[in-house]
Amino acid sequence: MKDILIMGIESSCDETSVSIVKNGREVLSNVINSQIKIHEAYGGVVPEIASRCHTEVINQIMKESLKEAKVSLDDIDAIAVTYGPGLVGALLVGVSYAKGLSFATGKPLVPVNHIEGHIAGNYITHKDLEPPFLCLIISGGHTHLVNVKNYNEFEILGKTRDDAIGEAFDKVARVVGLGYPGGPKVDNLAKEGTANIKLPVVHLDNLDFSFSGIKTAVINLNHNQKDINKADLCASFEKAVTEMLTNNVRKALKEYNEDKIVIAGGVSRNSYIRNEFDKLGEELGCKIYYPEPILCTDNAAMIAAQGYYDFINGKRADLKLNAIPNLKIGNK
């Protein structure tokens, strides 16, 4: 059986990335250009700057990816590109570039949902992982609990009603003076503290999440108690949001009689969250999967991996493909 090489292109936020992946699982290259240093000065991602930076580097990143993979454009079977969700200007850079490549080379164009790409990152790390399973997607823009029925069929079981968990991390980091990006900095400071501050954890009747109350409580405590221990505050915040995650996952595993939970997205790198899910796995006797760190945050390898399964399932786009910044998981 012939190997299938997919070129993945990712530009949904502030990483410009191009990757070559073989048969959906083997990464031949995964070149990532991060804009973190640029956006640090502004305390967060500035969409207009992100778009401009993507435009400046994407062609060079593509060339580097081919060189690292030791292949040419002729060897590529299809071009997979993130078309949503994300920042519309940033998405348009990747989509426009992918359409140009597709037109110039005659290679099929495969539109990939960014959230589905996060799930697929685990296929690269765990070669034996196959659907069905439950997946918790926790990132800067998303908090979803998803029933992954097969490689191309997804059912949302629960999602955030307000802030995404990564957004809450960033806001807490900003308030306590840690800066951007907030997630890793909160995680590091929390290791120096004790989770001894009670914060409101919302227990909803379904599998949805809500982080706004926890975030607001942290902001108010930091504002009203000038001598509050910021390490303890970060540790308490991590404990509260993780309790909400583990509670919902515990309920979902029992309700759907599943024994596999896949964690995906940038926040899945958080050490405390991983530790608590490891405990949950031991408690319930279920298998917990995480992507390797480089595949947690935005990257093109995960897009190429999902693009492979979309490609062999017949998914294609023509040159009318447009960016959809509010694209939902499971949309065709």
Say whether both 66 and 195 belong to one domain.
no
pLDDT tens, position by position, 19-48: 999 999 999 999 999 887 888 777 778 888
pLDDT tens, position by position, 46-64: 888 989 999 999 999 999 9
Say whether both 164 and 229 belong to one domain.
yes
Is 18 a domain residue?
A: yes
| Full domain range(s) for residue 264 | 132-291
Number of domains present in the structure of the chain: 2
CA distances from 148 to 93, 123, 166, 262 (A): 29, 13, 22, 10
Helix pair 300-312, 114-125: axis angle to 10 deg = 100
**Tokens found for residue 305:** 């991996």
Say whether both 150 and 286 belong to one domain.
yes
Say whether both 246 and 285 belong to one domain.
yes
Say whether both 47 and 139 belong to one domain.
no
Count CB atoms within 10 A of the CB of residue 48. Answer: 10
Say whether both 104 and 224 belong to one domain.
no
Say whether both 13 and 105 belong to one domain.
yes
Rounded distance between C-alpha atoms, residue 218 and residue 241, angstroms: 12
> What DSSP string runs through 304-328?
HHHHHHHHHTT--B-TT----TTPP
Is 67 a domain residue?
A: yes
Is 21 a domain residue?
A: yes
CB 49 within 8 A of CB 87: no
Instruction: Give SS3 for 160.
Output: strand
Say whether both 66 and 144 belong to one domain.
no
Task: Kindly state the DSSP code that residue 74 receives in the 8-state scheme.
Answer: G
Supply angle C-alpha 139, 144, 148, rounded to 5.
115
pLDDT at 36: 78
Is 53 a domain residue?
A: yes
Chain-centre distance for alpha carbon 122? 11
Cα dihedral: 122, 124, 126, 128 (round 10) = 110
Say whether both 233 and 299 belong to one domain.
no
pLDDT tens, position by position, 206-258: 999 999 999 999 999 998 888 899 999 999 999 999 999 999 999 999 999 99
Residues in the chain with pLDDT < 50? none
Write down the number of H helices and E strands in the chain. Answer: 10, 10
Say whether both 171 and 284 belong to one domain.
yes
CB 253 within 8 A of CB 260: no
CB 113 within 8 A of CB 327: yes
Is 142 a domain residue?
A: yes
Say whether both 142 and 225 belong to one domain.
yes
CB 138 within 8 A of CB 103: no
CB 201 within 8 A of CB 214: yes
CB 66 within 8 A of CB 24: no
Please list the residues that pair with 133 across neighbouring strands: 148
Rounded distance between C-alpha atoms, residue 190 and residue 230, angstroms: 8
Is 198 a domain residue?
A: yes
**CATH code for the domain in which residue 147 is found:** 3.30.420.40
Is 318 a domain residue?
A: no
Name every residue whose Cβ is closer than 8 Å to that of residue 109 and which is 6 or more positions away in sequence: 78, 79, 81, 98, 99, 102, 316, 317, 318, 319, 321
Q: Radius of gyration (Cα) for the chain, nearest Å? A: 20
Rounded distance between C-alpha atoms, residue 163 and residue 165, angstroms: 6
Is 321 a domain residue?
A: no
> What DSSP string runs through 164-199?
-HHHHHHHHHHHTT--SSHHHHHHHHHTTS---S--
Say whether both 75 and 107 belong to one domain.
yes
